[in-house]
Structures are given as C-alpha cells and as structure tokens.
C-alpha cells in the first residue's frame, strides 16, 4: 500500500464501523421511546454505505484524457 492510499483507507476503516455503531445506538434509543431516533437508525447505515461507495468510486482507474484532437481555443480580449 502506498502513502497516498492510507488516508482514504483510514476513512473507510474508521468511518464505516462508527456509522454502524451509531445506527445501533440510535436503534436502542428508538426502542426506548425516542421517536426521532427511528430516522437516525436508518440514516447512519446509509452514511456507511455512502462512505464505502465513495471509496470504491475513487479507487476506480481513471482514463487518460487525450485532448490532441480538440480544437485550440483562443482567448478573446
């Protein structure tokens, strides 16, 4: 693993478990009678899925852009 991958991996390794723990915490509060916590019970796992999706999306290989066929643009004064 290179130095460039470590920060993204740290977000995944810390963020996803934290979001899942918070989801269970809110579920416990919702069961005890806090009605607003039902929304957060589903919101925290959604954040975990979003973190994983963004990590996966950023890890995909990026195509090399070849702009040699593009017309040259001139700046207007």
63 Cβ contact list (under 8 Å, min separation 6): none
Residue entry with tokens 């579920």: 27
Q: What are the pLDDT digits (tens) for 21-33?
A: 999 999 999 999 9
Q: Is the entire prediction scored with pTM above 0.95?
A: no
Q: What are the pLDDT digits (tens) for 45-61?
A: 999 999 999 988 888 88
Give the domain ranges of the chain: 6-58
Classified as helix, coil or strand, 73 is coil
How many other CB atoms are there within 10 angstroms of residue 48's CB atom? 19
CA atoms of 14 and 25, how far apart (whole Å):
17
């Amino acid at each position: 693993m290179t130095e460039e991958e470590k920060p993204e991996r740290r977000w995944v390794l810390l963020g996803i478990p934290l979001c899942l723990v918070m989801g269970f915490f809110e579920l416990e509060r919702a069961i005890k009678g806090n009605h607003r916590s039902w929304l957060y019970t589903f919101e925290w796992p959604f954040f975990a899925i979003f973190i994983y999706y963004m990590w996966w999306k950023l890890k995909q290989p990026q195509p090399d852009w070849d702009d040699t066929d593009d017309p040259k643009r001139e700046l207007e004064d």
